[in-house]
Structure 1
Amino acid sequence: MKKINFLEHVLPHVVAVGIFLIVTLFFFKPAFFDNKTLEQHDIQQFLGSSKSIADYREQTGKEALWTDTMFSGMPAYLVSVEWGNKAVGFLKRILSLGLSHPICNIFLAFVCYYIMLLAFGIRPYLAIAGAICFGLSSYMIIGLGAGHNGRIGAIAFMPLIMAGIHLAFSNRKILGFGVTTAGLALHLRENHVQITYYFLMIVAIYGLIRLIEAIREKNGMDFLKTIGVLIPAVLIAVGTFFGPLWALTEYSAYSTRGKSELVKTTPQPTSGVKSDNAAVKSDNTKEWAFEYSNGILEPFTLLIPNFYGGSSNTSLAENRKSETFQALQNLANQGNEQMVNQLYNFTRPYWGPQSNTAPYYGGAIMVFLFAVGCAFAERKYVWWLATVSILGIVLSWGSSFPSFNYFMFDYFPAYNKFRSVTFTIIMVLFAMPLLGLMGVEKLWKQGLDKSAKRKLLIAFGATGGLCLLLWLFAGMFGFTREMENQLPAWFVDALAADRKSLFRADAFRSFAFIAAAFIMLYFDVHKKISPVGFYALLIFMATVDVAVVDSRYFSENNFKRKRDNTFFAMNEIDQDILRDKSYYRVYNLQWQEARTSYYHHSIGGYHGAKIKRYQDFYDSCITKNTQMLGADYQRQQLDFNRYTALNLLNIKYIVFGTERGAMMQNTAANGPAWFVSNILKVNTPTEELEKTCSVDTKANAVIDVSKFQVSSTEADSTGTIRIVTHEPNYLKYESNAQGNSLAVFSEIYYPGWVATIDGKESPVLRADYILRALEVPAGTHTIEFRFEPKPYTVGNKVTTASSWLVVLVLVGSLGFSLRKETQAGKKV
């Protein structure tokens, strides 16, 4: 048995983890040393959305499977349910060395990419540079700053899965089995299906390349054996996500990501609230899917961060030395403050085609090494990673390249379920350091003969030479947007001059980094510099390259002292509403925000996939009532009986500000439940929605009899019904009526809710397009609703068992491989 050599087998990895830890601590030092926390917009909204769920968990030890504080009610497992995959979470804490969430995701990106590079045969110290460039790419840092923790976490674990797959195909099947199982389980736990979908494209192309290789070498049996090893790994890992996946699959049919049931689209709301389901932007349309698409030249920001000026969320006028600032200052000196304020809105440095974006900088050094990889790496890996990169870029173009991307939308399975196709740029960022460092390894081994020198010069010319040409001939670009053509010429000239300056500065900056990397690589291959010196210089320069650009968009300003976070501080409106201890809902006219959900049962919220019918109802009914309310408020002629859609949702308070007085109390809300006197039968969802918007919802219930059967069209509305208990998963009512009645509940209809009357199960009907209803016999009764969704009650058992199996598989495969390889005298 060969003994483990500490200097050769252990120390490089200790150094690597140490460097990753130092970089993480330094880059996020306010969180570690100044008692500050990341201020993330999306996470603030998440905290509002999940507050009631967390409170219920803390108070009862149980999971709230339904949240009643957002969009009048929706499944809580779309927000913040804890599934039975805690064992996988334990693995994540070990890998991240206990670093706090979400900062640990960047550290994990370093570690997982490092492991993948090792699996592909990259020297440990060389792999450190590639891992840092991947983890500190501006895409990752900006995403973390915005609060896209699930997306960044999912990306962080992609390399670990790829490492396992490659190990399995490299005759290390047991180790590959364990690493793939653990990597995929950790990846799926982050719950970002869109990133998983794009990663499957990377894996599919790898598999295709491997299949072609097996056919050429007549080694198909080994290929099938490897697939036979990986399939169980995938099944076990998917088992850890079985419950959430089942829930997401079920919900997708009911969400705004699913197909509309309406024959015709609903009208575009004019209340000033952006809709997810407006007539001109249905969730299934190409316009919705490709709303965020890169311009054709946008991927150049991988090489030159300020190719399009930088971020769309900054201003040129912030720099007092800029020509834009001087132009506005001169205008202000003339006393035209109004025009200054108007023009300030056009001072952003970004001049590309998107409305809101930031660069995807991957590092000039890594782009250069990617070109080196294309020239020197094994052809199968070049075909794989070059194809992945090209596909990622083309897909990110979205509507800018409709001939290909519209075809993908129409015909490629499930592709039309996602928007923000700019996410596919991660495919390029994934490929660049891997192919680049494989190229460096191959170049280092073969040396610099005449052919190799020519290839290296071509790689330098294709990247550094391009940057130099762009620096010299920057004037070929206009540096303005089409909408800016109507602005004063002197102002547009100032904008263009500043943007050109940013462009040229970054073009030369990238050239300088590439030239330095080229010289270092040349000397390293010629043995003119020690390996240790080369490693140290490359790690340092690659880190500086990406980190300095990151600092433009992520700084100490992204952190706030924990005690200074006042986003959820209770205001006067909150205090006034909370004095009412009855059950009701609150309508904040902002609607798409979750701060209201922190304290109240809100009809609005913040989520990317609302229940489809609820969105329909909002677009068709709530917006009309809101317009009526606004007009009546202006005339001081409020009549709450007119706002039947608001009353149907039991909206008792309407909020339009934060200070006392910016609130209206609705005295005509229908309440938590009521008996109706008339049942209006319809036969299509379109009729159902139109009728619901136009009738008195207190007296009438609209039911689609093509899906739900009711006994008659009349009912006893003279009875009483009151809510007794209201919990996330359980509702209890008491009713009393002299005749058979139809009770309508101001609760959102969704499968999984089971109703009983005096303990006997009763079918739940859907009334008024979105609500639950029950046929209640005469007399006094106890009515109960329990939310018992099978994706959780059944799926969570599979999730729990699979999670512990992942731990056993990983530990077993690592132990087996370590023992086998040390006995064989191989490197560990």
Structure 2
Amino acid sequence: MQKEFVKKGLAAGAAVLFFVILSYGFLPQLFQGKVLNQGDTTAWKAMSKEASDYNKTHKDEALWTNSMFGGMPTVTINKITTGNHILILDKVLTTGTAPASHLFISLLGGFLLFLALGINIPLAAAGAVAITFCSYNLQIIQAGHVTKMIALAYAPWVLASLVYTYRKNALLGALFLAITVSLHVAANHPQITYYLGFIILAILIGLFIQSIKKRTVPKFAKTTLLVVAAGLLGLATSAGHLLPTYEYTKQSMRGGTELATEAEDSPRKGLDIDYATQWSYSRKESFNMLIPNFMGGSSSGALSKNSQTYRKLKQMGYNADAVISHMPLYWGEQPFTAGPMYMGAIVLFLFLLGLLLIKGPLKWTLTGVSLLALFLSWGYHMEWFSMLFFKYVPLYNKFRTVSMFLVVWQLTVPLLGIYTVWKVLEGEFETAVLRKKLYIAGGITAGFCLLLALFPSLAGSFSGPTDAQFPQGLIPALVADRKSLLQADALRSAALILSAGLVLHPILRKRLKPVVITILLGLLLLIDYLPVGKRYLNDSHFVTKNQYKNFFAERPVDNYILEDPHVYYRVLDLTGSTFSDATAAYFHKSVGGYNAAKLQRYQEVIDKHLLPEIQYFATKLGECQTVEEATEIFAYHNNHTHTPVLNLLNTRYTILGAESLPVTNPYALGNAWVVERILPVDTPLEELEALAHADLRTTAVMLGPPQEWLNAAPAATHPAPADTPGNTGSIEHPANITPASAIQLTTYSPNELEYSAVMEADGVVVFSEIFYPKGWKAYIDGEEVPILRSNFITRTLLVPAGEHHIRFAYKPASYTTGVLISRISSLGLLIALLAAVVLGAIRLWPAARTLQKKKDTEK
């Protein structure tokens, strides 16, 4: 028994060593001093710069940042880790260099999952490779979707703990489950957690049905109560982040809109379904999971110099060498894609073999949740089904990019496939039955691949929706190359499937030991996954450290703006995509930025006002001879301007180029100002629309203002509606700005703003700060006062006459409560883990002493 234990320990250690070598061997650039150029990571460093700098020099945490979209909570940018002591374990597990460390975590988690199912160590190691090296994982690593990759890496850990809880030791398993849930949730990708929940629910349903058949419902119920408690405890460790996130979600694009139009009787909750399903897999595109280049692969993929496209580019006089590595090879219906969600030809073959051979709840559980994921990944291609979930399944309408649901297959397909191999090697099936099912599964999968290799036109036209943007003479060559890519990968998949079928065939199985068959299958899996993975994560995606630093180098225009002695103003950067590029946030407080969950009200202001204003500015800029002339684009005429919201947001500078001077806006309204009147409106839609024609220098547009406020700033007559920004019609009470009152910003930090105020009389003060109803408190001379919203997005105070000190402070109760819950639950988990280790050692100690005495006696 001792020898068997040592033997298994050595085998497990060898597997772990193999995982380390594979993780780092796949990314040798990490040993060459290079840095992975990840677009989203670069964007994150820009958008988090203000908060990160603050956190380095302050004890409290920056919970708000003004670096993007006028201002927003940092909860969707930086995960809040305060109070979560379980992250000590995460630091241990991620020791090493990312992203290799993330691959290692995934490999180790997959290994533990297969071991929990009772599968032997060599086959469990092979299964871990299948879970980890799916092409999607490598694509998101390259793109910089770090939190998504970590969440996926910890997903098999959660499932391993769940399986262990039901199959082995309920109490110890529940402890492991709480810890792994904690690690997974702390990765901070709610969408992956949501999809993992579907797998867990499917497993629980399968186990419940099994317990009914075996008449063990009471035992199942007790274990399930432990599982639920463990899951909640694991979630509680991230309460410091989850509670503010949940609170923010209601105000974000994920929470829906308060605007009700003529087409909608009531405001919409959740994302718009067209936006949420924009990235939908078509039914045909699903074959990408079997043949990676079924639809061309990437929207920016590489072709060789032997391709027809390369030769045609040369003939047409283009610099073929410069563009051949970024060709639009993808010809599917998604807007664009980094590559296919290739699951592995061998594993899909094994999955189908499992459907034919395996009996029991595991097969139906994994098949059911896999089909559900597939149907939902089709999005608008199966609209009735998507709409059903969108309307009635809790939280489903909070997430976009439904094609991501296929990450479920990265777990379920290898699970059933490798489980099937294990049963085959254990001799569970009669030779005749196994031979027949091998032929059927191989015939379907390999046969389909060979059919496409011979008749590629069955896949479609090979013409993409963006082909019209390219020279028409190039399209036939591009189509021919897409067809060749499909044929090559179809042959490749067929060869791999036939090779795996041969390894498992009874003829070889009788002649080779199970461990040899396992090693051969493992080698085939490496041959299957690694070359495809290298298409999406290779040396071309790495840069030197100096090159990486240059991404954040100050441009001359940045230097010019940063010399402004004013501490706080906003910048409009037109050198990139204003509302999907966070670069400007690295140095400035930006009107734009990049975030898929920005505040819903700000998004509505972008759509209704900022985009038209920017377009107007760009049009008029072409008529200007000098930068000085361009400043007048922001000017007021007859109490109106074509850029009311840009002025409202205190947009002082507009960047046109890295080397050129910015356009200064002398008409920006500043940090705060006293208005003469309030324009009352009845609905949020009226409030939004009124911004186009109200003089926001002197008027605050407010929804249902209190009478006390109207006493300080009388109600204005509602101006005539304007069809476009900058209506030149006049309004009641034309502006006459000669204020005796003054408001001045004196102290700035992300969580706190201080002002000095001199008020001639009681007055309504508008601040060019984004209104957020949760967490911000306002104090006048130390006494808390209410903050009301004006102009759809700005904060407003009623300030009494006299000299005053005004302070805004941001510390939401959800954060304070959440951090307390995180501290208590995570400390409790660590204590329980320590107790489990001590108790285990105490139990093992007598056995160890007995073994030692036996050895001494033998000597």
Q: Same fold (TM over 0.5)?
A: yes
What is the match of residue 87 of structure 1? Answer: 85
Q: Aligned-residue CA RMSD in angstroms?
A: 2.7
The structure-2 alpha-carbon separation of the partners of 1:235 and 1:698, relative to structure 1 and needing over 3 Å to count, comes to: same
Which residue among 116, 119, 125 is the counterpart of 2:113? 116
The structure-2 alpha-carbon separation of the partners of 1:150 and 1:85, relative to structure 1 and needing over 3 Å to count, comes to: farther
What is the match of residue 395 of structure 2? Answer: 414
SS at match of 2:798: strand
CA-CA distance at 1:265 after TM superposition: 8.9
Which residue among 414, 438, 454 is the counterpart of 1:472? 454
CA offset digits 1:401-420 (Å, max 9, x no partner): 22322222222222111110
What is the match of residue 728 of structure 2? Answer: none
Distance in 1 (CA, whole Å) between partners of 2:706 and 2:403 is 40
Which residue among 311, 314, 323 is the counterpart of 1:326? 311
Which residue among 192, 197, 211 is the counterpart of 1:195? 192
Distance in 2 (CA, whole Å) between partners of 1:818 and 1:394 is 49
Which residue among 60, 67, 70 is the counterpart of 1:69? 67
CA offset digits 1:379-428 (Å, max 9, x no partner): 21110111122111111111112232222222222211111001111111
Q: Does 1:142 align with 2:139?
A: yes
CA-CA distance at 1:45 after TM superposition: 0.5
SS at match of 2:591: coil
Equivalent residues of 1:724, 1:733 under 8 A apart: yes
The structure-2 alpha-carbon separation of the partners of 1:377 and 1:496, relative to structure 1 and needing over 3 Å to count, comes to: same
What is the match of residue 362 of structure 1? Answer: 343
Equivalent residues of 2:712, 2:762 under 8 A apart: no
SS at match of 1:667: coil
What is the match of residue 740 of structure 2? Answer: 718
What is the match of residue 177 of structure 1? Answer: 174
Q: Does 1:569 align with 2:569?
A: no
Code of the residue aligned with 1:679 in structure 2: it is I
What is the match of residue 51 of structure 2? Answer: 53
SS at match of 1:746: strand
Code of the residue aligned with 1:156 in structure 2: it is A
Alignment of 1:490-505 (within 5 A): 491-505=474-488
What is the match of residue 276 of structure 1? Answer: none
Code of the residue aligned with 1:321 in structure 2: it is N
CA-CA distance at 1:588 after TM superposition: 1.0
Code of the residue aligned with 2:526 in structure 1: it is T
Q: Does 1:730 align with 2:752?
A: yes
What is the match of residue 591 of structure 2? Answer: 603
Equivalent residues of 1:38, 1:558 under 8 A apart: yes
Code of the residue aligned with 1:435 in structure 2: it is L
Which residue among 760, 765, 769 is the counterpart of 1:747? 769
CA-CA distance at 1:670 after TM superposition: 1.0
Equivalent residues of 2:767, 2:795 under 8 A apart: yes
SS at match of 1:405: helix
SS at match of 1:653: strand
Equivalent residues of 1:63, 1:81 under 8 A apart: no
Q: Does 1:401 align with 2:424?
A: no
CA-CA distance at 1:89 after TM superposition: 1.9
Q: Which has the higher contact order (CA 8 A, sep 6+)?
A: 1
Distance in 2 (CA, whole Å) between partners of 1:660 and 1:4 is 74
CA offset digits 1:496-554 (Å, max 9, x no partner): 32222211111111111112212222268734123343233222221121010111121
What is the match of residue 720 of structure 2? Answer: none
The structure-2 alpha-carbon separation of the partners of 1:558 and 1:709, relative to structure 1 and needing over 3 Å to count, comes to: farther
TM-score (norm 1): 0.92
Alignment of 1:124-273 (within 5 A): 124-264=121-261
Could you tell which deviates more after superposition, 304-313 or 514-523? 514-523
CA offset digits 1:765-802 (Å, max 9, x no partner): 11111111111111101111111201212211111222
SS at match of 2:417: helix
Distance in 2 (CA, whole Å) between partners of 1:645 and 1:90 is 46
Alignment of 1:301-312 (within 5 A): 301-312=288-299
CA-CA distance at 1:816 after TM superposition: 5.0
CA offset digits 1:445-478 (Å, max 9, x no partner): 2254222221222222222232223223324334
The structure-2 alpha-carbon separation of the partners of 1:394 and 1:587, relative to structure 1 and needing over 3 Å to count, comes to: same
Distance in 2 (CA, whole Å) between partners of 1:775 and 1:521 is 78
Could you tell which deviates more after superposition, 646-655 or 625-634? 625-634
Distance in 1 (CA, whole Å) between partners of 2:271 and 2:601 is 14
The structure-2 alpha-carbon separation of the partners of 1:173 and 1:813, relative to structure 1 and needing over 3 Å to count, comes to: farther
What is the match of residue 855 of structure 2? Answer: none
Alignment of 1:553-702 (within 5 A): 553-565=536-548, 566-582=550-566, 583-589=568-574, 590-592=577-579, 593-636=581-624, 638-641=632-635, 642=641, 643-661=643-661, 663-702=662-701
Q: Does 1:428 align with 2:412?
A: no
Equivalent residues of 1:447, 1:526 under 8 A apart: no
Equivalent residues of 2:252, 2:597 under 8 A apart: yes
Distance in 2 (CA, whole Å) between partners of 1:258 and 1:386 is 32
CA-CA distance at 1:351 after TM superposition: 2.1
The runs of 5 or more residues in structure 2 that have no matched partner are 636-640, 715-737, 849-859
The runs of 5 or more residues in structure 1 that have no matched partner are 267-278
Distance in 2 (CA, whole Å) between partners of 1:634 and 1:824 is 85
Code of the residue aligned with 1:521 in structure 2: it is L
Which residue among 795, 799, 820 is the counterpart of 1:776? 799
Equivalent residues of 1:444, 1:525 under 8 A apart: no
The structure-2 alpha-carbon separation of the partners of 1:816 and 1:299, relative to structure 1 and needing over 3 Å to count, comes to: farther
Distance in 2 (CA, whole Å) between partners of 1:374 and 1:89 is 39
Corresponding residue pairs, total: 801
What is the match of residue 807 of structure 1? Answer: 830
CA offset digits 1:84-131 (Å, max 9, x no partner): 2552222122223x1223432211110111101100111111011110
CA-CA distance at 1:709 after TM superposition: 6.4
Distance in 1 (CA, whole Å) between partners of 2:325 and 2:763 is 58
Could you tell which deviates more after superposition, 373-382 or 287-296? 373-382
Which residue among 266, 271, 283 is the counterpart of 1:296? 283
Alignment of 1:406-555 (within 5 A): 406-445=387-426, 446=428, 448-481=430-463, 483=465, 491-522=474-505, 526-555=509-538
CA offset digits 1:227-253 (Å, max 9, x no partner): 121122012101112122211111111
SS at match of 1:122: coil
Could you tell which deviates more after superposition, 84-93 or 763-772? 84-93
Equivalent residues of 2:431, 2:506 under 8 A apart: no
Equivalent residues of 1:64, 1:81 under 8 A apart: no
Equivalent residues of 2:288, 2:294 under 8 A apart: yes
CA-CA distance at 1:625 after TM superposition: 2.6
Could you tell which deviates more after superposition, 622-631 or 737-746? 622-631
What is the match of residue 32 of structure 2? Answer: 34
SS at match of 1:528: coil
SS at match of 1:257: helix
Distance in 2 (CA, whole Å) between partners of 1:123 and 1:346 is 43
Code of the residue aligned with 1:573 in structure 2: it is V
Distance in 1 (CA, whole Å) between partners of 2:226 and 2:50 is 43
SS at match of 2:380: helix
What is the match of residue 23 of structure 1? Answer: 22
Code of the residue aligned with 1:581 in structure 2: it is P
Distance in 1 (CA, whole Å) between partners of 2:521 and 2:809 is 60
SS at match of 2:487: helix
Distance in 2 (CA, whole Å) between partners of 1:485 and 1:574 is 38
